[in-house]
Structure 1
Amino acid sequence: MALTARWHGDETRWLALRLLPGEDLRAELEAAFASAREEEAMSAGFVAACCGSLHSAALRPAGRDEPLQVPGPLEIVSLSGTLSLDGPHLHMAVSDEEGVMRGGHLLAGCEIRTTAEIVLGLTGAARFHRPLDVRTGWRELDFG
């Protein structure tokens, strides 16, 4: 059976961010969630929307242990994932100037080229965390 967490929509706080050239996408998302945790006791979050551009991307595609460095310039086509007390789990797809797309886990080292416009949904009504799941060998999302 799937694990579920539920909360009322009015218990979600929306946070819009605009990142500037040179900022690191993952680091800024982690900092925004850490600030929301400290200031407003937010304990779970998710990426609702994102668009923008990068100088290059650092991704970890499925089945690969080492980072994949994708040279830019790049457009952020999609960013999705969760923000938890134990860290984020974020997936990103980017396209190059030919429209060729690459994707995987978002890693540190994705420098903003012109901007990144991001909307986060945050709540204190649920608690996201990532204990080790012995079935997968990975730290997977759990609710408390």
Structure 2
Amino acid sequence: MTRSLLIVFIVMSAITAQAQQAMQSTSRVHVFRLGPHQDLKKSLVAWAQLHKIKAAVVVTCVGSLEQYTLRFANQENGTSLAGHFEIVSLTGTISETSTHLHLAVSDSTGQTTGGHLLDGNFIYTTTEIAIAELPDLAFGRETDTTYGYKELTVKRRSSKP
């Protein structure tokens, strides 16, 4: 076997092993709307706690903000900016105990910025959100020794709610 084929085989074996560890689940989609001045992240956390969500993912989110607060890549602190912004994307995982969400917003010229969603993202006119709950799974967070961050863990739930 040539060296390049061996490398491809090793990489494909690693990807296959990771894919085999992935878990599948049925889903139940929740759709709701947030109104002016509500905090996007705090509202999502409160929704997950109210509905005792063990595992969910954001399907789509569109709307507008009057202020965004994001933490950019490899930065310790967040950045806030007031104005009028369109939500062009929200993605991530949600449970009643934790969230990991990234937001992309555009300004009036179409310039887009994105980062890790923090508290302090206030709705301007409206925000429409669809979230897929994964009732067969439970998300958790455990410290990954690589960098010391709490990273996603996925477990199969023994019984559905």
Q: Does TM-score exceed 0.5, indicating one fold?
A: yes
The percentage of aligned residue pairs carrying the same residue is 37
1:35-50 equivalence runs, <5 A: 35-37=50-52, 42-50=53-61
Indicate the SS of the match to 1:128.
strand
Moved over 3 A (4+): none
Separation in 2 of the partners of 1:23 and 1:122?
22
Map of 1:121 onto structure 2: 132
Match for 2:72 among 61, 66, 82?
A: 61
SS at match of 2:137: coil
Aligned to 1:6: 24
Structure in which a larger fraction of residues adopt strand? 1
- 1:107 alignment counterpart: 118
Establish whether residue 77 from structure 1 lines up as the match of residue 88 from structure 2. yes
Partners of 1:94 and 1:71 lie apart in 2 by: 12
Q: What stretches of structure 1 of length at least 5 have no aligned partner?
A: none
- Deviation per CA, 1:91-120, whole angstroms, max 9, x where unpaired? 000001111111100000101000000000
Deviation of 1:86 (Å): 3.2
1:29 alignment partner, one of 38, 44, 48:
44
Query: Which consecutive unaligned segments of at least 5 residues does structure 2 have?
Result: 1-16, 156-161
Contact 1:85 1:128 in 2 (8 A): no
Q: Deviations over 1:22-59 (max 9, x none)?
A: 1000011111111121xxxx310010010000001000
1:5 offset after TM fit, Å?
1.8
1:89 Cα offset (Å): 0.1
SS of corresponding position for 1:5: coil
- The two structures have a TM-score, normalised by structure 2, of 0.81
Distance 1:51 1:77 in 2: 6
Paired positions, count? 137
* Closer, same or farther: CA 85–5 of 1 in aligned 2, 3 Å: farther
- Matched residue of 1:109: which SS? coil
| 1:20 paired residue number | 35
Root mean square deviation of aligned Cα: 1.2
CA distance in structure 1 between the partners assigned to 2:142 and 2:100 by the alignment? 13
| More helix per residue | 2
Q: Which has the larger radius of gyration?
A: 2
Instruction: Decide whether aligned partners of structure 1 residues 34 and 85 sit closer, same or farther in structure 2, where only a CA change above 3 A counts.
Output: closer
> In the alignment, what sits opposite 2:98?
87
TM-score, normalised with respect to structure 1: 0.90
Aligned equivalents of 2:97 and 2:31: distance in 1? 22
Q: SS where residue 141 of structure 1 aligns?
A: strand
